[in-house]
Structure 1
């Protein structure tokens, strides 16, 4: 009966901690990865330059890996400063916990790779990746708000707010190019 109790709670009341499914770091890293992949793809696709979607896909992937490692390492440094005295294993776990940064970059990498066999241009792949990532940001924002126990209205507002980040990247890409 406890698993059904959340269906009958008042709107906008948070779920009990036991029913929350998504750790905060996973959510943060996923959003960060989507924004990072979008910004990189937009920056790497320069007008007037030869299309190099394979090289650009590799850069997006390597940058996501480096960012995940750097963010995890920053957690290690922060723990050291708090006199935690954690060992190497804890540090490696902190870095591996940033896997959502890399996973969030995968759709962009895949779309860039589809431009390699000339199925479409790199610019089309980048534009599609920017649109997809913007939609993923909206869905991610709404989903995380729902996971935190927010009502549908608040969740949709959160999704729209996250989507605005993607729209800013799209607008910046259009203005710069």
Structure 2
């Protein structure tokens, strides 16, 4: 009799997307928002200038909003000639779909705002935001790799690779200042 075990063996496949897993757009925009907020916070905290963390927090937030709107509008412009058109309503939806850019900037904005009442210096708030955002990039990279069905080693490698983006900003901040 022939061995039939092969009928019950399922090849390893990546896990299917669930409703709990963020979309590719959400992930893209979230990473973009973290990197944008980190770069802005680092650039706005200039040595020798008076601390103004409230103004810097506002700039980070407004830039995240403007970037989200611009990115959404770029999708509108890119699809303007396509057959699906969509009109103004589709354009507004495309811009609103970029909300993760703004949400990803919120931790940086919040940390800058904690420096307003002099709980700590703006520089410490910025440095903390840079470290936090770098760790968030690492966790997000590893988490998405695991969600895509990769093993722990590959997922950790992905997280470390994503973390390098934040480390580049930290090193650039240290070298420039």
TM-score, structure 2 normalization: 0.90
CA deviation after TM superposition for structure 1 residue 18, in Å:
5.6
CA deviation after TM superposition for structure 1 residue 9, in Å:
6.8
CA deviation after TM superposition for structure 1 residue 82, in Å:
2.4
Q: Tell me the equivalent position of 1:151.
A: 151
Q: Tell me the equivalent position of 1:95.
A: 95
1:87 and 1:80 mapped to 2: Cα distance? 8
CA deviation after TM superposition for structure 1 residue 17, in Å:
4.5
How many corresponding residue pairs?
Answer: 168
1:78-113 deviation digits (Å, cap 9, x = unpaired) = 111323321111111110000000000000000000
Worse-matched range after superposition: 84-93 or 46-55: 84-93
TM-score, structure 1 normalization: 0.90
Name stretches of at least 5 consecutive residues in structure 1 with no aligned partner: 1-7
CA-atom RMSD in angstroms:
1.6
Name stretches of at least 5 consecutive residues in structure 2 with no aligned partner: 1-9
The secondary structure found in structure 1 opposite 2:149 is coil
1:125 and 1:151 mapped to 2: Cα distance? 35
1:84–1:48 distance in 2 versus 1, CA, 3 Å: same
2:17 and 2:48 mapped to 1: Cα distance? 53
1:124-174 deviation digits (Å, cap 9, x = unpaired) = 000000000000000111111122222211111111011000000000000
CA deviation after TM superposition for structure 1 residue 21, in Å:
2.1
1:106–1:18 distance in 2 versus 1, CA, 3 Å: closer
1:164 and 1:17 mapped to 2: Cα distance? 27
2:19 and 2:148 mapped to 1: Cα distance? 9
Contact in 2 for aligned 1:20/1:147 (Cα 8 Å): no
1:15–1:39 distance in 2 versus 1, CA, 3 Å: same
1:17–1:123 distance in 2 versus 1, CA, 3 Å: closer
Worse-matched range after superposition: 145-154 or 21-30: 145-154
2:118 and 2:94 mapped to 1: Cα distance? 39
2:89 and 2:49 mapped to 1: Cα distance? 44
Say which one has the larger Rg. Answer: 2
Contact in 2 for aligned 1:61/1:102 (Cα 8 Å): yes
